[in-house]
């Protein structure tokens, strides 16, 4: 326990109330990467960006001692401490940054192969902006800013903010603007450069690439068992190049038959097991749409296969197929050869459409949301503006779908098959969320990492396409905030069940920040096959290496591990909220960070200190009574039993 001192002082200092301890972090300060903590003097500087978005402001997380050192360093006008293998590419003075919250600031811009760094000492306290280049969606040269001589640039970011800079027109036409250098390094893929994750050389105590091992995860679930087996048919990604090499399928279906089923499923994504109920054996399986087409094609093998999945669960004589799409979209897919299972062909199966819209609708919805929340929220019509983005409605539909799946499996003891069109966007959201509701393991930090590695990464959610790492083609129709939406749904669950998750809000925000940062290899590429080909685990660092090396920071102190608790959230707009801690965090008027957690940690420290003192006194008394046992037969020692700890 890093806190010490008198009982009276513990947990009562307002000044410390928002200063989580970071002792555990001091060794990793250089690794704190894009949150730019390494360069943030806690009191000398502030900014509207990462550092003052009070919610997760690193300045509040730095030790006072380190703070003093950094403040000193800053007064020497030192630049941010660079990451291993990070190199300065260009620097320019006299740049104006138009902060949407506090007005224009003049300062210096530095561009490295990893970040854009702006610093201004215009104002007290000073101001810094530290932006990993991976966050940049596009850079635009905007004609003249305030005067003829100015050149202005807009930087549109993937994380809900836009930045605007300007500098004087350059006399020397041969010299490149710092923002042209920025454009080059912000889009390494388009410019034949390497993504920074391949260069980042930080060493962490833990290797995050070892977090997920499919065999042990399936073993945890009790697989293989009499009905399900692990197959290596996809070992070389021959069956399906977007699936992982390890798959779980019904025992009764030989590998040869799997290939015929694959022929009938879009992109060969056959139904495979994601999760099995430890008691009822009801399963969650995932796949892509059947290739029914306009003529209503059927596949005996596929029909048999689903029947086998149903039969594997003795408790129920029904199988639910959850098609994530609106029925209209599912029907429209027949024109492209796809479609959905007809209940005639699949006896004992019931098909349910979950009405979740496609990636294009979601992208548009988030774009609207950005308009509503950034940079400022309009004073009037906040809720109707929010409603008009439909963002929460989409969140609701996704959660509602996951809830129905979880309910069928838990309460109905019925196996379910989940698919959309390709089975890598909406399907992933649904299986991962329902597994989070059903299985408390996934609500731990490591369990959640496993969940992401398994359902999202190994099953081929196309992160590269959906995020567009290092790619300048910002209008690419394949980009979509599917994963952000999922994390938002997880956050909604943590709001309804504040004690059911081992991780805190900061954990979720950190994952989203590194979804874009390109500092870690975790979210690079589109599939397991590609990741192996690019040797991602060899050549990059896993995000989990960073996170698992400082778990304290990401831990929810309120966590209670109730075994076998299934979460049934209330999926209603009455309880769904906009995640202000993520979407509105750039606003300097944001809510202070998790005060309840902070307070709880203080109370824990206080209890530990009291316990220590009670123990001490008890020992004293015991010693005394031992030395003069005849004297005090009925001493208070008897009545004092240590208080049971329940953390």
Partner 1 sequence: MFSAKPMKPTFRSYLPPPQTDLKSNIEPPVKLEPKFLPGEIVVNEANFVRKCISTDSSQGDLWGRLICTNFKVSFIPQDPPPKQKSQLSHLLLGQHDISLTCLEQVVTVNDTRGKRKVLGSNKKLKFNPAELILYCKDLRVIRFCFDEAGPESAKKVCLAIAHYSHPADLNLLFGFEYQGLRYHHYKGDLVNGSTPRGGIQTPIFDCPSDWDREIKRTGASEWRVCSINQKYIISESLPEYIVVPVSLTDQDVKSYSLSFNDGRVPLWCWNHRNGSALVRMAGSTEPLNQRKTEQKIFTAITKSHPQRREVTVSDLDKALPNIQDIQSAFVKARQICTLDPFEESEERWLSSIENSRWLEYVRMFLKFSAEVVYSLDGKNVSVILLEEEDRDLNCVVSSLVQLMLDPHFRSLNGFQSLVQKEWVMAGHRFLDRCNHLKKNENKESPLFTLFLDCVWQMTNQYPAAFEFTEAYLTVLSDSMWIPFFSTFLFNSSKQCSQVLQDFAKNKAIPPTEDHTVIFPPVWKWSQQFSSRDQTLFNNPMYVGKGAACVQNGEVKSFQRSKKAFSSTVRISSTSQRNGLKGEEDTLQRRGSLISGLRGDFSPVKDESPAERFFRDWFSHPADLQGVLIPLVLPSHVVLWKLFFLRWVLEACIPKGGPATVYHKVSQLVDEIDTLQSKLRQYKGASPHSTPVPSPSGPPPGQRRMYFKASSADEPPTSPNVLNSSFPFNPVGNLCRRGVQGTPISKFLNGAKTWLSTETLANDTF
Residues forming the active site:
420
Strand order in the sheet with 319-323: 272-276, 283-287, 415-419, 319-323, 349-353
Nearer to partner 1, 28 or 434 (CB): 434
Least distance CB 52 / partner 1 (angstroms): 7
Residue 421 among known ligand-binding residues? yes
Residue 334 among known ligand-binding residues? yes
Alpha-carbon distances, residue 571 vs 362, 403, 412, 495, 575 (angstroms): 19, 8, 19, 12, 7
Element (H, E) at 508: helix 505-517
Two structure tokens written together for 526: 């589109």
Q: How far apart are CA 566 and CA 435, in angstroms?
A: 10
Nearer to partner 1, 328 or 603 (CB): 603
Q: How far apart are CA 286 and CA 312, in angstroms?
A: 15
Residue 333 among known ligand-binding residues? yes
Least distance CB 356 / partner 1 (angstroms): 14
DSSP code of residue 230? E
Per-residue burial over 322-335, b = 16 or more CB atoms within 10 Å of its CB, e = otherwise: bbbbbeebbeebbe
Calculate ∠ Cα 379-382-386, nearest 5°. Answer: 150
Nearer to partner 1, 230 or 580 (CB): 580
Contact partners, residue 288, CB within 8 Å, separation at least 6: 265, 266, 267, 269, 419, 420, 421, 422, 423, 424, 427
Q: How far apart are CA 516 and CA 510, in angstroms?
A: 10
Nearer to partner 1, 169 or 562 (CB): 562
Can you list the alpha helix ranges (DSSP code H) found in 54-149? 64-75
Instruction: Count CB atoms within 10 A of the CB of residue 616.
Output: 10
Report how far apart the first and last C-alpha atoms of the chain are (Å, whole number): 14
Instruction: Count CB atoms within 10 A of the CB of residue 295.
Output: 9
Residue 379 among known ligand-binding residues? no
Q: Is 351 helix (H, G, I), strand (E, B) or coil?
A: strand
Instruction: Count CB atoms within 10 A of the CB of residue 377.
Output: 16
Nearer to partner 1, 457 or 576 (CB): 576
Residues 336 and 432 sit within 8 Å (Cβ to Cβ): no
Residues 277 and 438 sit within 8 Å (Cβ to Cβ): yes
Q: How far apart are CA 434 and CA 353, in angstroms?
A: 16
Strand order in the sheet with 150-157: 127-132, 115-120, 103-112, 88-99, 162-168, 150-157, 136-142
Residue 615 among known ligand-binding residues? no
Least distance CB 490 / partner 1 (angstroms): 14
Furthest-apart CA atoms within the chain: distance in Å: 98
Residue 426 among known ligand-binding residues? yes
Element (H, E) at 90: strand 88-99
Residue 99 among known ligand-binding residues? no
What secondary structure does DSSP assign to 241-262, as a single string? TTS-S-EEEETTS-HHHHHHHH
Residue 424 among known ligand-binding residues? yes
Least distance CB 323 / partner 1 (angstroms): 16
Residues 86 and 130 sit within 8 Å (Cβ to Cβ): no
Q: How far apart are CA 240 and CA 242, in angstroms?
A: 6
Residues 155 and 162 sit within 8 Å (Cβ to Cβ): yes
Which single residue is written with the structure tokens 């997920």? 212
Two structure tokens written together for 67: 């703070």
Least distance CB 265 / partner 1 (angstroms): 28
Calculate ∠ Cα 480-214-234, nearest 5°. Answer: 80
Calculate ∠ Cα 359-362-363, nearest 5°. Answer: 85
Nearer to partner 1, 113 or 316 (CB): 316
Considering just the CA atoms, what is the radius of gyration of the chain in Å? Answer: 27
Residue 481's nearest CA partner among 376, 357, 576 is 357
Least distance CB 133 / partner 1 (angstroms): 26
Least distance CB 399 / partner 1 (angstroms): 9
Least distance CB 591 / partner 1 (angstroms): 6
Least distance CB 491 / partner 1 (angstroms): 14
Residue ranges for the known binding site are 333-336, 358-359, 420-426
Residue ranges for the known binding site for substrate are 333-336, 358-359, 420-426
């Amino acid at each position: 326990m890093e806190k010490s001192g008198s009982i009276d002082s513990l947990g009562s200092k307002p000044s410390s109330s928002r200063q989580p301890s970071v002792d555990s972090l001091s060794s990793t300060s250089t690794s704190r990467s894009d949150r730019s903590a390494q360069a943030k003097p806690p009191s000398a500087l502030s900014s509207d960006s990462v550092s003052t978005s009070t919610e997760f402001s690193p300045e509040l997380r730095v030790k006072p001692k380190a703070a003093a050192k950094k403040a000193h360093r800053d007064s020497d006008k030192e630049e941010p401490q660079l990451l291993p293998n990070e190199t300065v590419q260009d620097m320019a003075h006299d740049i104006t940054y138009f902060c949407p919250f506090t007005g224009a600031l003049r300062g210096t811009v530095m561009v490295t192969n990893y970040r854009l760094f702006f610093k201004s000492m215009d104002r007290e306290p000073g101001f810094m902006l530290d932006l990993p280049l991976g966050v940049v969606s596009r850079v635009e040269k905007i004609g003249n800013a305030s005067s003829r001589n100015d050149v202005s640039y807009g930087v549109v970011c993937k994380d809900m903010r836009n930045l605007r800079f300007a500098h004087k027109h350059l006399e020397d036409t041969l010299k490149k603007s710092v923002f042209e250098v920025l454009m080059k390094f912000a889009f390494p893929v388009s410019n034949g450069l390497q993504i920074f994750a391949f260069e980042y050389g930080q060493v962490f105590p833990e290797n995050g690439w070892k977090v997920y091992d499919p065999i042990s995860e399936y073993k945890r679930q009790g697989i293989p068992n009499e009905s399900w087996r692990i197959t290596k048919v996809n070992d070389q990604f021959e069956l399906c190049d977007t699936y992982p090499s390890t798959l779980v399928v019904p025992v009764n279906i030989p590998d040869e038959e799997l290939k015929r089923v694959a022929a009938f499923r879009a992109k060969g994504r056959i139904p495979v097991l994601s999760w099995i109920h430890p008691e009822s054996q009801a399963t969650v399986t995932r796949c892509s749409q059947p290739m029914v087409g306009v003529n209503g094609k059927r596949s005996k093998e596929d029909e048999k296969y689903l029947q086998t999945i149903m039969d594997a669960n003795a408790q129920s004589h029904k199988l639910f197929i959850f098609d994530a799409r609106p029925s209209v979209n599912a029907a429209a897919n027949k024109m492209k050869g796809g479609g959905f299972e007809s209940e005639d062909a699949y006896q004992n199966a019931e098909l349910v459409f979950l009405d979740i819209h496609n990636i294009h609708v979601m992208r548009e919805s988030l774009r609207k949301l950005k308009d509503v929340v950034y940079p400022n929220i309009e004073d009037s019509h906040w809720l109707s503006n929010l409603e008009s983005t439909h963002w929460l409605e989409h969140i609701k539909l996704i959660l509602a779908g996951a809830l129905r799946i979880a309910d069928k499996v838990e309460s109905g003891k019925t196996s379910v098959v989940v698919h959309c069109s390709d089975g890598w966007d909406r399907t992933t959201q649904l299986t991962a969320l329902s597994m989070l509701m059903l299985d408390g393991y996934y609500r731990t930090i490591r369990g959640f990492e496993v969940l992401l590695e398994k359902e999202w990464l190994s099953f081929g959610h196309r992160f590269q396409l959906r995020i567009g790492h290092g790619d300048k083609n910002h209008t690419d129709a394949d980009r979509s905030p599917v994963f952000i939406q999922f994390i938002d749904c997880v956050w909604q669950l943590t709001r309804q069940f504040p004690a059911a998750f081992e991780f805190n809000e900061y954990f979720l925000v950190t994952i989203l920040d590194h979804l874009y940062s390109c500092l870690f290899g975790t979210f690079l590429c589109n599939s397991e096959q590609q990741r192996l080909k690019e040797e991602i685990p060899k050549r990059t660092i896993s995000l989990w290496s960073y996170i698992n090396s400082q778990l304290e920071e990401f831990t929810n102190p309120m966590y209670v591990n109730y075994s076998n608790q299934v979460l049934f959230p209330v999926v209603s707009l009455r309880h769904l909220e906009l995640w202000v801690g993520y979407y509105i965090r750039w606003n300097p008027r944001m809510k202070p960070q998790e005060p309840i957690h902070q307070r709880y940690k203080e109370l824990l420290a206080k209890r530990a200190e009291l316990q220590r003192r009670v123990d001490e006194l008890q020992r004293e008394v015991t010693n005394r009574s031992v030395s003069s046992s005849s004297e005090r037969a009925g001493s208070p020692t008897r009545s004092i039993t240590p208080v049971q700890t329940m953390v």
